[in-house]
Structure 1
Amino acid sequence: MHTLVIGLNHKTAPVEIREQLAFQEDRLQLALKSLRDMKSVLECVIVSTCNRMELYVVADQLHTGEYYAKAFLESWFRLPKEGFAEHLYVKANQEAVRHLFHVVCGMDSLVLGETQILGQVKQAFLTAQQTGTTGTLFNALFKQAVTFGKRVHSETEIGQNAVSVSYAAVELGKKMFDSFSGKTILLIGAGKMSELTAKHFHAIGANRVLVVNRTLSKAEELARKFQGEARTWDELIPALLKADIVVSSTGAKEPVLTRAMVEPVLKKRRSPLFLIDIAVPRDIDPAIHELDQVFLYDIDDLNGIVDANMAIREQEAAKVRLWIEEELRQFNEWLDTLGVVPLITALRDKALAIQEEAVLRIERKLPELTEKEKRVIRKHTKSIVNQLMRDPIVRVKELATSPQKELAQEMFVALFALEKQLNAEQEQEESDSVELPNTAALASGNA
């Protein structure tokens, strides 16, 4: 068996490509079944978010599995592969597993260490489980990956501290206010950055929002998102009197808040004024910083916080990379023990067949046996067989992770004469396999 991941993300494909290969949530189960029904595919999970689309596949043949997974994308989205093939990445076996561990930790995300992807991968796995497209391998792998992702986010700071300008403003605010409950935030300008910053403050309790903008309709539109109030540009000074936090991002060429405007306001206030200038050119006159009871931060201050926090995340990422290698080692050990399952199954089948044949001979020789006596004989002979098999099974599992695993498995097969059982199983698998069809035939619908 081979593990594959075939996908694209924000690093390999622009949004116009990603949006064409995004799975609709209400059709995801149907997509999973369609992918699993492709030749060579044994198990599958589909992860589809705004920044990535990934098919995780267990295939009986490596190249055949990759071929049919790509053919599935072409068929499902009704797109010629030439339109997206160059944006796809393909990772197999060890690299595929390592990639999944990176993804659940946020190590492969647009924002290093973000936590949302962990929940998205978990949901993708649960959906595949419910649909019946996972089996022994993916049930173990995805459970381990999700557990590992939770550990990373609880035991490291890879997802902590602001790495966006808008959230860095909140971190600064936390140093000034013990609580944001009941605080008023004033937005000067109704652009995207103002909205993002307000969203972060609003989420932690700053529930009174005022929006001042030169175009009142835009101010009203943004204010509605936070159950706030819009003000005309002429009402800027009265709004300053009410505000605890001011976020300015207007795109004006000259400062919209000058020292001469703010100084009289401070004389009428009883509390400090927290000013955040995220505009370039700056909206707020730097001279305001000289006034008492004013805390002014501009874009460079915020970027400094972001850079420092990103450095912390990078340090944590180095630690997580080492942890990933340990997780990979543990998974490989489990995978190695999975490789001896056919041997163990063959031994059990042979031993139980011998036990069953012996019981039938006893019953033929002793026809006077009651049903109860037959059950007792069957139970105890099976117990003897299980006890005899226990130690060999334990030892072959232990040796499965040793450097001599191949030799140990060969000796196990020879010692218990399991060639017949294993050959029968292999012949059955080969009879179920198919040859790779002609690419042109598949594209034309004749495969």
Structure 2
Amino acid sequence: MDIYLLGFNYQTAPLEVRDKVAISRSQLKQYTAAAGGLAGVAGAVLLSTCNRTEYYLACNEKERLKSVLLEFIRDYSGLSLETLSRYSYERTNRQAVLHLFRVSAGLDSMVLGESQIMAQVGEAYEVACQQGTTNKVLNGLFQRAVQAARRARSETFIDRYPVSVGAAAVDLAAQVLGRLQGHTVLVLGAGDTSELVLKHLVANGVATVVVANRTYARARLLAAEYGGSAIRLDDFLKYLACADIVISCTAAPGYIIKPELLQPLLAERQGRPLIFIDIAVPRDIHPGVGMLPGVVVYHIDDLQQVVCKNLDERKREAIKAEQIIGEETDNFCQWLKTLSVAPVIKALQKKGQDLVTRELKRVLPKLASLSDKERKIIISLAGSLINKMLSTPIINLKAACQDEQVYGYCDALRYLFSLDDEQAAIKREEVF
């Protein structure tokens, strides 16, 4: 059995193509089930995010699958077969495994090392399980893809350096304050960047967050989602007395914080420093604000330097993560090869267990004087002996899966141990 991948991503296809081949969350179940029913497909998992749509299929005839799959995508996307073929990519077997493991670890993402993709891979697999379109091969593939991503994240720091301006602003705030717990942050603006800032503030344990926006309804909605409070943008000056840091990211056409507005309020702070982080373009904070006593202002250029530095750090960590993903890919491919001999191993273990059960039934009645504890020891010993006796041949058989001689070894085991031919049948098609 082969693993076949066909996909479109931000590296190979323009946005207008990605838009049309993308599958929404509400459509994912329907299209996963449909892909699983295509001719020649034994299993299907569909991964569709803002930057990629990928079909992972288990099949027996991968050579004929591309045309079948492209026709399927043509029917729902409205794109021509020529366009789909031009902007798609294929991977098979080991290369498909490596690709998925790299995707799951964030190594193939537009934002290197981003962590959201691991959850998206898990969700795609969960939908396929619900639709009954997975099999043993795809189960192992996606379970190990998530495991590989977790290992890459736990053994490297690839996702611990903020590479978005919003995340970098929160990271800077935490550095300035020492920690965010117990502090109040005022966020000016309620757009996408503000939402990202709020997400990272909450993740870092900020005590209190206040959202100010011209459209009050939007401020309330965003504040409620992240456990904060909302105010109108015109009222934000009243809250500066209690704020420790102000992160400003409005879409205002000019400065909304000027020295003459701020100066009268500084006395209310009783000498407490006030930190501004201005990530708006154009800037929200007048350059003169940074000249006021007790006020420090950071601009987006300061954060861009942090982002560039952090991206370099992620690239260094990515080298380590790639090594881990390579190891996990090898481990999975080795496991996949052992599926071909799994029936022989199962039959051998059953033969051993049947022997233990039969002999215990024969011997134990003759040892009526034994205590319950002694009987349990003998039963445990018998099982342990047979497991240890079979352990070495099973380990060696798995190791031999890389070699065509493995089939000869299986034949020998079937003959020597009189294994049931049907139970111990070798699934040669499982090996790629």
TM-score tier by shorter-chain length is: 0.7 to 0.9
Question: What is the rounded CA distance, in whole Å, between the counterparts of 1:81 and 1:34 in structure 2?
Answer: 19
Asked if structure 2 preserves the Cα contact closer than 8 Å seen for 1:210 and 1:239, the reply is no
Gap runs ≥5 in structure 2? 352-388, 416-420
1:65-104 → structure 2 map (5 Å cutoff): 65-77=65-77, 79-104=79-104
TM-score of the aligned structures, taking structure 1 as reference length: 0.72
Matching residue's letter, 1:209: V
Provide the rounded CA distance (Å) in 2 between the counterparts of 1:242 and 1:389.
71
Residue aligning to 1:267: 267
1:209 aligns with 2:206: no
After superposition, residues 85-234 of structure 1 pair within 5 angstroms as 85-177=85-177, 180=180, 183-189=183-189, 191-201=191-201, 204-205=205-206, 207-211=208-212, 213=214, 218-227=215-224, 228-231=229-232, 233=234
Identical aligned residues as a percent: 35
**What SS is found at the alignment partner of 2:314?**
helix
CA distance in 2, matches of 1:390, 1:199: 51
1:396 positional shift = 4.2
CA distance in 1, matches of 2:31, 2:148: 27
2:404 pairs, out of 403, 406, 409, with: 406
Does the aligned pair in 2 maintain the 1:185–1:244 contact within 8 Å?
yes
Distance 1:255 1:411, change over 3 A: closer
Matched, 1:241 2:241: yes
Deviation at 1:109, TM superposition (A): 1.7
CA contact (8 A) 1:44 1:55 kept: yes
Tell me if structure 2 keeps the 8 A contact 1:105–1:149.
Answer: yes
Are residues 269 and 151 of structure 1, via their aligned partners in 2, closer, same or farther at CA, if it must alter by over 3 Å?
A: same
Judged with a 3 Å threshold, the aligned counterparts in structure 2 of structure 1 residues 28 and 283 are, in CA distance, closer, same or farther, namely closer
Tell me, in whole angstroms, the C-alpha distance in 2 between the residues paired with 1:397 and 1:209.
60
Q: Which residue of 2 aligns with 1:20?
A: 20
CA RMSD, Structure 1 to Structure 2 (Å): 3.8
- State the structure with bigger RCO (CA 8 A, min sep 6), 1 or 2: 2
Q: Which amino acid aligns with 1:222?
A: A
Task: For 1:303 and 1:333, locate their aligned partners in 2 and report how far apart those are by CA, in whole Å.
Answer: 44
Q: Contact between 2:104 and 2:145, CA under 8 Å: does it hold in 1?
A: yes
Cα pair 2:246 2:276 within 8 Å, conserved: yes
Letter in 2 for 1:148: A
How far apart in 2 are the matches of 1:15 and 1:201? Answer: 31
Secondary structure of the residue aligned to 1:96 is helix
Please name the residue that 1:381 is paired with: none
Give yes or no for contact 1:44–1:133 (8 Å, CA) kept in 2. yes
After TM superposition, the structure 1 stretch with the greater mean CA deviation from structure 2, 242-251 or 100-109, is 242-251
Contact 2:169 2:277 in 1 (8 A): yes
Judged with a 3 Å threshold, the aligned counterparts in structure 2 of structure 1 residues 301 and 31 are, in CA distance, closer, same or farther, namely: same
- The within-5 A match list for 1:280-319 is 280-319=281-320
Q: Which amino acid aligns with 2:325?
A: I
Flag structure 1 segments of 5+ consecutive residues without an equivalent.
353-387, 430-447
Instruction: Quote the Cα distance in structure 1 between the aligned partners of 2:237 and 2:409.
Output: 88
* Equivalent residue, structure 1, for 2:324: 323
**Contact 1:5–1:96 under 8 Å retained in 2:** yes
Cα shift readout 1:9-67 (whole Å, capped 9, x = no counterpart): 23333444333323344554443332222222122211222322111111112211223
Q: Kindly provide the amino acid, as one letter, of the partner of residue 320 in structure 1.
A: A
- Deviation per CA, 1:279-299: give whole Å up to 9, x if none: 334332334334442221111
- Give the number of equivalent residue pairs: 381
TM-score by length of 2: 0.74
Cα distance, 1:87 vs structure 2: 2.4
Q: What amino acid maps onto 1:2 in structure 2?
A: D
